[in-house]
Structure 1
Amino acid sequence: MNGAHANGAAANGAGGAAFPGLKLVPAAQESYKAKDFKSDQEVRWCPGCGDYAILAAFQGFLPELGVPRENVVIVSGIGCSSRFPYYLSTYGMHSIHGRAPAIATGLAASRPDLSVWVITGDGDGLSIGGNHLIHALRRNVNVNVLLFNNRIYGLTKGQYSPTSEAGKVTKSSPMGSLDAPFNPVSLALGAEATFVARTVDSDRKHLTSVLRAAAAHEGASFVEIYQNCPIFNDDAFEPLKDPAERDLRLLRMEHGEPLTAGGRGVVADGFGGLRLAGPDEAGEDAVLRHDAHREDPGYAFALSRLDQPAFEHVPIGVFRDVRRPTYDALMNEQVAEARSAQGEGDLGALLASGDTWTVE
């Protein structure tokens, strides 16, 4: 990739009011369709894998950005989900285990004319990559992180992962996992990520709406996607997908709307806590209206703790969406200030300064 679009990108940016996070990315000179973002590579996942649905939704969504394909970059780590760069007709990098957020940070910081997406999984992003993930979120780098959570290691054949439930029997835990699982949304909020959301692979309309909100956010966005692994952890999220059950179990969060699911509503529970109450317990006035723009992450964190092990009531949608200066913008301001004070500099002169020697 070259830097041809970097200068003057703000004036012609694709972001505008719809996608502020893309304000420095040039606008496409042509209209794209989903097929334009499909590569010539054969898509190869296990039959029934939730990755197929996510890929189709993502390819269908990308034309909305109005960004040239050469200004979209997909960075992945290791895992089944990390095959995404092969299947998208954009720039991309299939990197190393857990390091995708670090590579994406370098791209976003050095090339503000790019729309940068990180594709990772619960194993890749929350085990060896956990440190990179939380710091990318903490720094508020202008990247979009999609974490596919199937609560298992799929690529390496079915070991328990950082999100597997306690007692999970797998090849690596034949007597049941002893680990307490991560809640990815709680983890992201604990790192004070400025945008945090959750969605489900099989609900294309909801998934697309969350992708749209993530892309519109200026700064780091984190999206957990419940994704089915039919081979090693089939139907892990079935209660949330069963037509007879899902409307009772899914707490669909919409900013400004009441927080209700299955005839119950979310009410305050003292000391910043939240709980679900039945109609006999709480009147309509007591049910909270969702505020995704609340600055204090404590409210969104309390919402993330409503999860139940048996998926009794699971919040999906945007937990938090707040504004904060981005790392890459602040860094580039410092670079510009240094250049203004000290000039462009000369790398060759710097390398040759001080004591040097020649090796024959």
Structure 2
Amino acid sequence: MTILENPLVGTDLGLTGLSGVPTADGAQKAKDYTSDQEVRWCPGCGDYVILATVRGFLAELGLKRENLMFVSGIGCSSRFPYYLEAYGIHSIHGRAPAIATGLAVTRPDLSVWVVTGDGDALSIGGNHLIHALRRNVNMTILLFNNRIYGLTKGQYSPTSEPGKITKSTPMGSIDHPFNTLSVALGAEATFAGRALDSDRAGLTEVLRAAAEHRGTSFVEILQDCPIFNDGSFDALRRENAESHLIRLRHGEPIRFGADGEFAVVRDGFGLKTVRADTVADSEIVVHDAYTDHPEYAYALSRLSDQDLTRVPIGIFRSVSRPTYDDGVRAQLDAAADNHPVKENSLQQLLTGRETWTVG
């Protein structure tokens, strides 16, 4: 991957997403990140597995807990900050990326995380999500996707499949759902990944890469809602799950299936899946997460379908681009250098050249 020069900051992008964030003095354990709050999700909710995985991952990350900030919106997923022994904000419906942007800009010593759901992020929060992605703010966004509204008791969401019968669509949804990875990549996400709640090893791998990425990292986590959308991702957990999961590994040919019997090949401007024994090895696509061509990652995202016949998971894209927060801080520093403010200069501020006398 080419390290690009940041014209706003004047330094290269060799920094990671964790650069400048203080580390803990000693080894930590998952229990160190467990708060005293009672976890109040429904029995069997996929959020439990995600919480346990994140606690363990944070211990491996080794950051000071007071330099971790989790910001959530509204929804079942947004209770997440209560259950972590770190700083957190349970914020406003759909606005978590905006609040997280302010934190990332003003506090470069923080590792900033956004926890959101498919309804919170893609409905009322859609604008905030895409602008955080295009700005490339140094934060990690975890989108829990259960394809339903859980907290408000079972309405269809922006990711529900067509024909979905819910309390708000008794005759079946007629909406066409979002493909979350396509939305993120269309908004120029510099890091985009997907994981399954029950795949702790795969989820940890994606989380680690997301945390180390400098810029906005977007991670969709497929998770079950046992009350209002039970079994929505069962096809990805059964014995033949490997026939449905396309595991992406950088630098390796994209093959899947229990014995690698399926493969991904180019198909015009996109990609498609075929039986591996019907094509030459040279035709099988070798995954490149670091390519500067976003259309490749977008084509991968289009392999996903609503009936879960094919679902790519892993890291789709990871590239370097100047970050919004680095740029803002550089401009503030430049302004201070060019226009030094004198001590006790309130009068200077009030009567400076940016004021007018109104008769």
Q: Same fold (TM over 0.5)?
A: yes
**Contact 2:255-2:276 at 8 Å conserved across structures:** no
In structure 2, distance between residues paired with 1:88 and 1:256? 35
2:200 is aligned with 1:204: yes
In structure 2, distance between residues paired with 1:125 and 1:178? 20
2:292 is aligned with 1:295: yes
**Contact 1:261-1:313 at 8 Å conserved across structures:** no
Tell me which residue corresponds to 2:263: 265
Offset at residue 350 of structure 1 (A)? 6.5
TM superposition outliers: structure 1 runs of 4+ over 2 Å: 344-356
Structure 1 unaligned blocks of 5 or more: 1-16
The within-5 A match list for 1:52-67 is: 52-67=48-63
Greater alpha carbon shift after TM alignment, 279-288 vs 213-222: 279-288
> What one-letter code is carried by the residue in structure 2 that aligns with 1:247?
E
> What one-letter code is carried by the residue in structure 2 that aligns with 1:50?
G
Secondary structure class of the residue paired with 2:147: coil
Aligned mate of 2:323, from 313, 326, 329: 326
CA displacement 1:105-138 (0-9 Å, x = unmatched): 0000111000000000000000000000000000
In structure 1, distance between residues paired with 2:166 and 2:158? 13
Q: Which has the higher contact order (CA 8 A, sep 6+)?
A: 2
Structure 1's 153 and 342: CA in aligned 2 closer, same or farther, altered over 3 A? same
Aligned mate of 2:34, from 20, 33, 38: 38
2:170 is aligned with 1:174: yes
CA displacement 1:311-359 (0-9 Å, x = unmatched): 1111000000001111101111111110100014668447754689xxx
Structure 1's 167 and 251: CA in aligned 2 closer, same or farther, altered over 3 A? same
CA displacement 1:47-81 (0-9 Å, x = unmatched): 00000000000001002222110000000000000
* Number of residue-to-residue matches in the alignment: 337
Tell me which residue corresponds to 2:95: 99
Secondary structure class of the residue paired with 1:127: helix
Structure 1's 347 and 237: CA in aligned 2 closer, same or farther, altered over 3 A? farther
Greater alpha carbon shift after TM alignment, 277-286 vs 207-216: 277-286
> What one-letter code is carried by the residue in structure 2 that aligns with 1:58?
V
Greater alpha carbon shift after TM alignment, 120-129 vs 24-33: 24-33
2:81 is aligned with 1:85: yes
CA displacement 1:11-66 (0-9 Å, x = unmatched): xxxxxx9x821111122223221111110001110000000000000001002222
2:252 is aligned with 1:254: no
TM-score, structure 2 as length reference: 0.91
In structure 1, distance between residues paired with 2:254 and 2:324? 33
> What one-letter code is carried by the residue in structure 2 that aligns with 1:254?
R
In structure 2, distance between residues paired with 1:134 and 1:89? 29
TM-score, structure 1 as length reference: 0.91
Structure 2 unaligned blocks of 5 or more: 1-13
Offset at residue 270 of structure 1 (A)? 1.6
